[in-house]
Amino acid sequence: MKAVQITLDERLLAELDADDEVKRDGRSAVLRRAALEYLRRKRRQSIKDAYRRGYRSGAEDLSGWAEEGVWPEE
């Protein structure tokens, strides 16, 4: 691991230090988990956005295909 320096305002630092999870695991562990969750959330959103763009841009190319389908008889 590599040590990094960050700046937090006093109020945020006090809230962080008062948290039970921070008391139990330490600031660094909690901030590592927070950074990892942030990156995962960004990645998920990026994938969702790519799907939306893909489906939105190709929707007009699919017109007429509904009539081409063959449905099984019941």
- What tens digit of pLDDT does each residue of 5-31 get? 999 999 999 999 999 999 999 999 999
Burial (CB count within 10 angstroms: exposed 0-12, middle 13-18, buried 19+), residue 16: middle
Query: What value does the mean pLDDT of the chain take?
Result: 89
Taking alpha carbons only, the member of 22, 20, 43, 44 closest to residue 31 is 22
Q: Which band of pLDDT confidence, cut at 50, 70 and 90, is reported for residue 62? A: low
Q: Which band of pLDDT confidence, cut at 50, 70 and 90, is reported for residue 58? A: low
C-beta of residue 30 within 8 angstroms of C-beta of residue 19: yes
Q: What is the pLDDT of residue 55?
A: 78
pLDDT above 70: percentage of residues in the chain: 86
